A and B are shown apart, each in its own frame.
Chain A
């Protein structure tokens, strides 16, 4: 006699059903892309029309076409600044992810360490970066390192707190199972706590991606008011002083596009990492 699966049992298993697709996307997917684009074009059109009809001078409000033209003509200057801002943002995010994860693992290993250090992480988080940035610029000579530290302070906390929460969220029955099989500390971390913390870490990373950019921009502003040239925020300041309002807008566009790109990239990473098992990645497939 051998054990065979009954059809009754197998029938309730979740089946992957494929929806009708148009050019690689579902109709709903297309709607999700096309509708916001339509609204965007309408708004830009209205803006351009208003600027032309009311004859608003470009040093008050430039139209979208002029902003686009500035983006092209000033690309030499702007792309250099964009590169600096991107470098600072990604370096800060990387350091925040590595240190946040490492510290969270340390916290999960020892309650004493968590209790003694966590309040200081909170203090670091609640102190406004604009207030500490000037000090950091005094202490650190290299402007890039100083910007990196500022952006890191802003980006670091969500990863630390989310990952700490995730590491402590392991299913208690699974914890018992690991105890039954005499798993050591390292095995519990490797096979249970880290996988459990993965969705939490990725959610933290998504928040931190945006925050790293904001931190970098804020720090650049502070550095810029001190007369030290750097990334996109400095270009905005500079263009403001020179009344080159279209260039201000062009910098602003680049910052927004960067923010959106970071969010989309991190969402994609999160989706790819969790698509096999986590509910958050499943809903997007519906």
Chain B
């Protein structure tokens, strides 16, 4: 299955961010993310990829430049965000954690419960509604976090190195499940990572960034069809893409 990329969901023009302490996090970033695309922001630490993501989410304002969202800016629940840590409320069970965005939007409790249960089931956690975060494994907590981000049916899903703290086997499984969800729900995905392999496996487009100051240095596409699976992971095309992206990353870091 492969569907073309639509009109931009979010576009950045000359976006610069300088923090209050004077650090220039990113400089002059231009980028347009098409509807339904899966884009990775890849780069070494300190290249401002998380900063770009947080600006897209509207969590921090840019110092200069413009960020435009399709359909007139952020509507509540139009953007989902997955943090590096699961960031769950420890005092609530899995179901209540997933219900949170709906409750904040004023969705009545019975409807919120039903939608949250469906979201949990969609990430493979049916039967864990009453479990508290401390009773869940790292991978399962991340699944709850993804369910929470998807429960509002966002058009844009922003992910900030969500699987960095997981073991290799769990990470592969979650990568596959994330692609399954993406193909089923057709949201636009922006995925921040520092792993070349993860970015090649997941995305259709990889934006390579460099540090000091953070900027976009290369914009490459990975033209392999979906669904991708173990066959793709062991294919020559995958290896070739990884080699190209690694080279781009080396150039970015060597500059």
Which residues of A come within 8 Å of B, CB atoms? 1-6, 8-14, 16, 171, 173-174, 176-183, 187, 191-192, 195, 198, 276-278, 282
Contacts and interface: CB of A to CB of B under 8 A. Distances in A.
A16 B170 CA distance: 22
B59 A179 contact: yes
A176 B59 contact: yes
Contact of A6 (B54, B79, B173): B173
Interface string B43-86: 00000000000100111000000000000000011010101010
B104 A187 contact: yes
B83 A9 contact: no
A12 B180 contact: no
B26 to A, nearest CB: 18
B237 interface: no
Given A1-B180, A180-B58, A181-B76, A191 B124 contact: no
A3 B77 contact: no
Given A1-B227, A177-B81, A180-B58, A8 B89 contact: no
Nearest to B93: A276
21 contacts: A1-B180, A1-B183, A2-B180, A5-B143, A8-B173, A12-B137, A12-B138, A13-B135, A13-B136, A173-B87, A176-B54, A177-B87, A179-B59, A180-B59, A181-B76, A181-B77, A276-B132, A277-B91, A277-B132, A277-B133, A277-B134
B57 A173 contact: no
Contacts of B246: none
Nearest to B229: A1
A10 B91 contact: no
A3 B132 CA distance: 21
B134 A14 contact: yes
B104 A195 contact: no
B1 to A, nearest CB: 10
A10 B139 CA distance: 8
Given A8-B170, A173-B83, A191 B103 contact: yes
Interface of B: 54, 57-59, 76-77, 79, 81, 83, 85, 87, 89-93, 100-101, 103-105, 122-125, 131-140, 143, 169-170, 173, 177, 180-181, 183, 227
A101 B70 CA distance: 44
A-B pairs with lowest CB-CB distance, top 9: A12-B137, A9-B139, A5-B124, A173-B87, A3-B124, A3-B177, A277-B90, A195-B91, A181-B104
Nearest to B130: A276
A267 B85 CA distance: 31
A174 B189 CA distance: 21
Contact of A171 (B87, B101, B137, B180): B87
A90 to B, nearest CB: 27
Nearest to B131: A13
A2 B184 CA distance: 9
B168 to A, nearest CB: 10
A5 B91 contact: no
Contacts of A174: 87, 89
A175 to B, nearest CB: 10
Nearest to A12: B137
Contacts of A5: 124-125, 140, 143
B129 to A, nearest CB: 13
B59 A8 contact: no
A277 B81 CA distance: 24
Contacts of B79: 180
A19 B177 CA distance: 37
A124 to B, nearest CB: 31
A102 B137 CA distance: 37
Between A3, A5, A276, the greatest number of chain B beta carbons within 10 A of the residue's beta carbon is seen for A3
A2 B227 CA distance: 12
A198 B135 contact: no
Contacts of A16: 135
A178 B76 CA distance: 11
Nearest to B84: A173
A9 B104 contact: no
A16 to B, nearest CB: 8
A3 B123 contact: yes
B198 to A, nearest CB: 17
Contact of B89 (A11, A176, A195, A282): A195
B130 to A, nearest CB: 10
B95 to A, nearest CB: 13
B79 to A, nearest CB: 7
Contacts of B93: 276
B91 A9 contact: no
B57 to A, nearest CB: 6
A81 B103 CA distance: 51
B104 A13 contact: no
Contacts of A278: 90-91
Nearest to A2: B180
